[in-house]
Amino acid sequence: MKKLMITSIALTATVLIGFAGNASATIFGENITIYDGTEDSTHTGTNIGREDGETEPGMVNSQAWDLEGFFQKGNELSMVGGYNFVTGEGLFESGDIFLSIDDTFGSGAAPSGFVASNGNWEEESNFGYEYVIDLNFSDLNNLTYEVLKLDPTDTTLTAWYPANENDTPGSNPWRYVSGGEQVENGTGTFEFFSGLTNADTGFLGGSHYALTGFDLSFLGIEAEFYSHFTMGCGNDNLLGQGTTAPVPEPATMLLFGTGLVGLAGAYRRKKK
């Protein structure tokens, strides 16, 4: 991944157009987050069985490490968390977004002989994920990504702590390294939002960030997918499950076309 190690940067709160007053998280679309199966027992009350406010067992559980949700709107994927995706937290930076199009992924898809141990190290494994959205934070004024197709011999980086590797799915991989093949038209730009409130996102914690604008059209029509993200330490593990948008039905397209014709006619009458 082509990233800068950002150690000190002053970010001003970005104004999210459309987030005002009684705005809700529907601006990101549908919440497609799935429970990762590794609830931290130190969390109680409303956080039981939820990704909101919980990190992984044995990890630091403050808002700064909280990965809260994946969202889907049409074919656009977004991600929200108390974790700052741009600056990271401490020494640990953001990872990449990995995608699976089958039910085999996570630690259950680790290579033969894989043993979790502390540290970030390179592993010749895609951990069952067929695609990666490789995030590029090197230019904060022009955030870009590249989609690569992976096979089991491609190289990824593993997360620092192995706490999640006793469960399926696990926290790995953290970041793409090499070996993938770029997907046709698999490039684009994404946006980073900071200063989001509980009302903006629908999550607890008081301070939230978001990445949005990842186009999943390359997966095809009505393709089921699983999305995965973690930071360099593996302190929290975010998973999502969704289906790409279907082709509009002929009746829908007919109504849309009829509407356009009607608008054109009204415009001509108004002009006369």
The pLDDT-based confidence of 226 (bands split at 50, 70, 90) is very high
Q: Region 14-29: what's the mean pLDDT?
A: 48
- What mean pLDDT, rounded, does the chain reach? 82
pLDDT of residue 3 exceeding 50, the answer is: no
Q: Region 159-183: what's the mean pLDDT?
A: 88
Q: Is the model more confident about 269 or about 207? A: 207
pLDDT of residue 217 exceeding 90, the answer is: yes
The pLDDT-based confidence of 40 (bands split at 50, 70, 90) is low
What pLDDT, on the 0 to 100 scale, is given for residue 27? 84
Q: How far apart are CA 111 and CA 99, in angstroms?
A: 18
Strand order across the beta sheet in which 131-136 lies: 33-34, 237-243, 224-230, 97-100, 131-136, 144-149, 181-189
| Single-letter code of the amino acid located at 201 | T
Q: How far apart are CA 185 and CA 188, in angstroms?
A: 8
Q: Region 160-181: what's the mean pLDDT?
A: 87
The pLDDT-based confidence of 216 (bands split at 50, 70, 90) is very high
Rg (CA), the chain: 20
What pLDDT, on the 0 to 100 scale, is given for residue 36? 75
- Counting residues of the chain whose pLDDT is more than 90, the rounded percentage is 56
Q: Is the model more confident about 3 or about 148? A: 148
Q: Is the model more confident about 253 or about 159? A: 159
At 107-154, the pLDDT tens digits run: 889 888 888 888 999 999 999 999 999 999 999 999 999 999 999 999
Torsion of CA 89, 95, 100, 105, to 10 degrees: -70
Q: Is the model more confident about 249 or about 262? A: 249
Can you tell me which residue has the tokens 């889907």? 72
The pLDDT-based confidence of 266 (bands split at 50, 70, 90) is very low
